[in-house]
Amino acid sequence: MPSSIPASATARRARRLLATPATVGGAGLLVAILLVGALAPWLAGRDPSEQDLSSFLQPPSRESWLGTDDLGRDLRSRVVVAARADVLLVALGIGLALALALPLGLLAGYFRGPLDRAVTALSDAVLTFPSLVLAVVLVSLFGAGLAGVVAAVSLTTAPALFRLIRGLVLQTAALDFVDAARALGAGHGGILARHVVPGILGRGIVYTTLLGSHALLTVTALGFLGLGIQPPAPEWGNMLAQARTYLATAPWLVAAPALAIVAFVLGINLLGEALRDLLDPKLLWRP
């Protein structure tokens, strides 16, 4: 074996695009938030709902790094526990959207026909709603709280995800090796599982991850409007709603949840910049 295999042009291009401070920083922010969410019980320190009415609305200090809220609850433990709630809600919402969009996108993109037309029409109908308006309508149907938020995130994400997967499948299914597999006698199931799915996997995972920022904005906006996860359970959006009440007396209530949200979304945005350039070099401008 030669000690160093010459890197392909693609690999070199990937390294050039990904090894920038912005991309590495973005990935770092995202990983940090995910780690905080995963390790929440160990990082929280105090119980996030433990009240200490002798020290309410205290500015950041040695005892509580980020200060305390109106009930004397420690903001550090609240923002850490909220990280777990927000990350889980995003994951749950996108997971459910994927469970809807992946099979439908595969079938619609591969077989076309009436199913494709029906599902495309349905997803276009859903897309005539401004995303957040649809989210609010769904919450009014499912009720504020976990079910409403997950329904809102997944159903506002699913149409975009369906379109994306369908488009990738259309591209992949038109490639020569799929024709070759068919000529060799492979069945539809085999072609889908062995050729189409691996073909869309990389781009699909990247774009799905990028939808995470949209999902988080929905979760936190609903929380902020009082339609998401209900207090006393901490969630970044409802923490900001609480901070609004005490803006004049305790401005530090804003800092922790605000920085957490910005870190998550900025992480995805920075990472997305480079990944999109990598995956679709023709795309010169993008949202």
Partner 1 sequence: MPGDPAALIAGPGATQAQIDRLRGELGLDAPLGVQYLAFLRDLLRGDLGPSLSFGRPVAVVVATRIAPTLALMATSIALTLVLAVPAGILAAVRPLAGTSQTVMAATILLLSVPNFLVGLLLMDLLVVRLGWLPAAGTGGLAFLVMPTLAIAARLVALVCRTTRASVVEVLGEDFVRTARAKGLGGLGVLFRHALRPALVPIVTMVGLQAGYLLGGSVVVETLFAYQGLGQAMINAVAMRDYFLVQGIALVYVVGFLLLNLAVDLSYALVDPRIRYG
Among 102, 150, 164, 270, binds partner 1 (CB under 8 A): 270
Least CB distance to partner 1 at residue 101 (A): 18
- Least separation in angstroms between CB 109 and partner 1: 23
CB of 266: closest distance to partner 1 in angstroms?
A: 4
Comparing CB distances to partner 1, the nearer of 137 and 201 is 137
Q: Are 141 and 78 in contact (CB under 8 A)?
A: no
SS3 letters across the chain: CCCCCCCCHHHHHHHHHHCCHHHHHHHHHHHHHHHHHHCHHHHCCCCCCCCCHHHCCCCCCCCCCCCECCCCCEHHHHHHHHHHHHHHHHHHHHHHHHHHHHHHHHHHHHHCHHHHHHHHHHHHHHHCCCHHHHHHHHHHHHCCCHHHHHHHHHHHHHHHHHHHHHHHHHHHHCCHHHHHHHHCCCCHHHHHHHHHHHHHHHHHHHHHHHHHHHHHHHHHHHHHCCCCCCCCCCCHHHHHHHHHHCCCCCCHHHHHHHHHHHHHHHHHHHHHHHHHHHHCCCCCCCC
User: Between 205 and 247, whose beta carbon lies closer to partner 1?
Assistant: 247
Give the count of residues interacting with partner 1 (CB under 8 A).
43
Nearer to partner 1, 44 or 135 (CB): 135
Q: Which x/- pattern over 114-153 shows residues binding partner 1 (rule: CB under 8 A)?
A: --------------xxxxxxxxxx-xxxxx----------
The region of 36-44, 58-66, 115-123, 213-221 touching partner 1 under the rule CB under 8 A is 213-221
CA dist 238 → 25, 29, 88, 152 (Å): 27, 22, 16, 16
Q: Which is nearer to partner 1, 202 or 231 (CB)?
A: 231
CB of 73 to partner 1, least distance (A): 20
Is 33 near partner 1 (CB under 8 A)?
A: no
Closest approach, Cβ 152 to partner 1, in A, equals 12
Residues 215-254 that bind partner 1 (CB under 8 A): 217, 220-221, 224-227, 237, 240, 243-244, 247-248, 251, 254
Is the preceding peptide bond at 198 cis, omega within 30 degrees of 0? no
Report in angstroms how near the CB of residue 265 gets to partner 1 at its nearest: 4
What is the rounded distance in angstroms from the CA atom of residue 224 to the CA atom of residue 240?
6
- CB of 246: closest distance to partner 1 in angstroms? 10
The least distance separating partner 1 from the CB of residue 7, rounded to whole angstroms, comes to 29
Give residues in contact with partner 1 (CB under 8 A). 22, 128-137, 139-143, 213, 217, 220-221, 224-227, 237, 240, 243-244, 247-248, 251, 254, 258, 261-262, 265-266, 269-270, 273, 284-285, 287
